[in-house]
Amino acid sequence: MESLFADLIQILAATVRLSVPLVFTALAGLYAERSGIVDIGLEGKMLFSAFSAASVATVTGSPWLGLFAAILTGVLLSLLHGFASITQRGNQIISGVAINFIASGLTIQLGNAWFGQGGRTPQLPNSARFTEITLPFASEIASVPFLGPLYARLISGQNILVYLAFLAVPLTWWVLYRTRFGLRLRAVGENPGAVDTAGISVSWLRYRALICCGILAGFAGTYLSVAQSAGFIREMSAGKGYIALAALVFAKWKPLNVLLTCLLFGFLDAASIRLQGIILPGIGEVPVQLIQALPYILTVILLAGFIGKAIPPRASGVPYVKER
């Protein structure tokens, strides 16, 4: 019983760790898509940000400067996406695909040229990383049954970006539903014409939404390379940007749902690692690949409308043409 509980805490801790990049990235996508810009370049933004964070942290020894560089990278890539899809009214999907390619190629190329390790960045020392923070009294109450381990090993002992991710969710909710900017942002994703008629610039609103998107993508990338691991590895985003996109659809473009969905997808990820080779009674060995593919399968089923309906913001993916 005791070991089962310890196991559970371990899985939950892994769930939190694996959810964090998804939470940041899905929230990033939320700002973009709520404003009517589809962003499948999230994967590339996360990857490139991870690279920038690790590179700058390597050179300066400061994780905070790494985070700053990552945010800058995320924002710049977002502005590129904005230039293509807002100003030039290009195809948003194609622009996103291009960003993913550019990130994938340029990170390895630059990494190899700068650090000579085939695209990796050097191993970061702990001083250049965001490391675990022990919350007050963690060791004192660790021995209290049930709550003690839960506090000591799940809530305490995470790095600062984990706490920021969980704060970003209510913050995003507040921005989107309780501020004028948020109201307009949601409106522009549903009916840009109406926003335009009210004398508010559709382009500028969408650019700002994309800047928010870039900032959050920067956090996601920093988490990957400077908090979770100690350096950048080629292709280290490994499809998380697409999972985040799936999570966003699954969450029906709502901030609090985003958190729950990302936790669910993180849990599936954690479980698929734990379940490797374990034979469940009555079912037999569950193929790890099935659990890994489950977020994608669930998203397709949801998209098909078999478990509720996911209706995207109405104007998403459509460039806005001002009446002439």
Partner 1 sequence: MSAPLGTLPRWVNFGLLPLLNVLVAFAISGLVVLFIGESPVEAVQYMLSGALGSGEGIAFTLYYATNFIFTGLAVAVAFHGGLFNIGGEGQVYLGGLGVAMAALALDRYMPWYVTAVVATAAAFAFGALWALIPAWLQAKRGSHIVITTIMFNFIAAALMVYLLVNVIKQPGNMSPQTRLFEPGGQLPKLGWLMQWFGLDIGAAPFNVAFLIALVAAFVVWVLIWRTRFGYEIRTMGTNPTAAVYAGIPYVKTVVLTMIISGGLAGMMALNPVMGDMGKLQVEFPAGAGFVGIAVALMGRSHPVGIIIAAILFGVLYQGGAELSFWVPNITREMIILIQGLVILFAGALEHMFRPPLIALFAAKPKSRPASAGGAA
Neighbours of 319 (CB within 10 A): 19
Closest separation in Å from C-beta 249 to partner 1: 6
How far apart (Å, rounded) are the C-alpha atoms in residues 90 and 94? Answer: 8
Cα dist. 191→198, 203, 259, 313 in Å?
Answer: 11, 13, 26, 9
How far apart (Å, rounded) are the C-alpha atoms in residues 107 and 130? Answer: 22
H helices of 35-62, in order, are: 42-60
Query: Do the beta carbons of residue 203 and residue 86 sit within 8 Å?
Result: yes
Beta bridge partners of 158: 133
Closest separation in Å from C-beta 276 to partner 1: 12
Q: For partner 1, which is the closer residue by CB, 26 or 128?
A: 26
Q: For partner 1, which is the closer residue by CB, 51 or 151?
A: 51
Query: Do the beta carbons of residue 26 and residue 259 sit within 8 Å?
Result: no
Closest separation in Å from C-beta 67 to partner 1: 24
Q: For partner 1, which is the closer residue by CB, 180 or 324?
A: 324
Q: For partner 1, which is the closer residue by CB, 6 or 293?
A: 293
Closest separation in Å from C-beta 123 to partner 1: 20
Closest separation in Å from C-beta 46 to partner 1: 15
How far apart (Å, rounded) are the C-alpha atoms in residues 46 and 232? Answer: 12
Amino acid at the residue 235: E
Give the number of residues written for the chain. Answer: 324
Q: For partner 1, which is the closer residue by CB, 18 or 165?
A: 18
Cβ-in-10-Å burial (0-12, 13-18, 19+) of 76 comes to middle
Closest separation in Å from C-beta 200 to partner 1: 21
Beta bridge partners of 280: 284
Q: For partner 1, which is the closer residue by CB, 61 or 287?
A: 287
Closest separation in Å from C-beta 97 to partner 1: 6
- Contacts with partner 1, residue ranges (CB under 8 A): 38, 40, 80, 83-85, 88-95, 97-106, 108-110, 112-113, 118-119, 234, 239, 242, 245-246, 249, 287, 289-290, 292-293, 296-297, 299-300, 303-305, 310, 312, 321, 324
How far apart (Å, rounded) are the C-alpha atoms in residues 190 and 35? Answer: 8
Q: For partner 1, which is the closer residue by CB, 147 or 304?
A: 304
Query: Do the beta carbons of residue 121 and residue 111 sit within 8 Å?
Result: yes
